[in-house]
Structure 1
Amino acid sequence: MLKVSIVVPVYNAGRYIEMCAPSLLRQTLGEDAYEVIYVDDGSTDDSAQRLDQLAAQHPHVRVIHQENSGWPGKPRNVGVREARGEYVQFVDQDDELTPGALEHLHRMASRNGSDIVLGKVVGTMAGPSNVFKRTVERCTVEDAPLMESLTPHKMFRRDFLLAHDLRFPEGPVRLE
């Protein structure tokens, strides 16, 4: 079994594919330990071809093409269903990971038997949240400001998502 599956919903990503993909392909975890699953949500630009080219060049990259759903929820759910990793890391088409991100997150998840691991996030739109001020090995919503980060950009144990039937809403839902 793979350690991690990265799930990336894609719709008309254009140049963002070339910005995001290198960070996903150069992970220190090792190509034999993870996969990248792009779920193309019926793109009308050249995203599908760009993704197919990536998959042809990198054996640990898969592309799933589907009809447009209009929102990232369905592509994420499809990615979870198709994932072969013990953990699933959600990444958006315009995100980037540091080279050691998967290795560090998976190591922490394994060490603690975690269902969810929240990595440090750096953004360009707002200052850092209190949730990223220090590394915490184990916590709950009662003892950490986890509600400050309600985005899906986390690493989840796949069996945890499946056992609890945790799915993203499909359809027009903002901030899913």
Structure 2
Amino acid sequence: EKSRTAGMEIDTVIGDAAYSWKENLVYAKSEQFQLISKLNPVITNGSGQRKIEFDYNKDAGMFVCPAGHMATHKRRTGRKTLNQSLTFHFDIEKCKVCPMREGCYKEGAKSKTYSVTIQSDTHQEQAAFQETAEFKALASKRYKIEAKNSELKNPHGFKTAKSAGLFGMEIQGATTIFAVNLKRILKLLSEKE
């Protein structure tokens, strides 16, 4: 918004996975610019911490455990503004005596559930977009940004705030960026000669 106010035309923003949260994706779409930011793997691949995979029975709309027991019911969990999950509940009495309970059922647990993340339309669109050649080509340029950030932080001291408050950080940022740009200009001028 500040860049646009200053007169810049923005058609693409490149960032890491921290920028791909749902509100940013919705904002990018509403403001008509591309957000080149990979989705967090938790959104695209689930938590990745499951030791045992359950099968989905599409006719019943329920998950089935490896022992063949179908979930008894399901419900949505999580806040509506963020990623919700479908949580499938299993009959705990069957789990207690199941021969395959090791690694699946914790002894003494009061319930057995299996959850899957519900991808919003926004996340599904971004997941499809990040598989395109255009996305991959633009994302491959991000290392240049990180290299410049590293230069600002390490040799030029932008890693640590020198004064308190937002205004102090803005002044420190402006002077650090000015110094780095001045060094770059001088280097380019010396290369011309």
Report 1 or 2 for greater relative contact order, CA contacts < 8 Å, sequence distance ≥ 6: 1
Instruction: Give the structure-1-normalised TM-score.
Output: 0.18
- Structure number with higher helix proportion: 2
Instruction: Give the structure-2-normalised TM-score.
Output: 0.17
Larger radius of gyration, structure 1 or 2?
Answer: 2
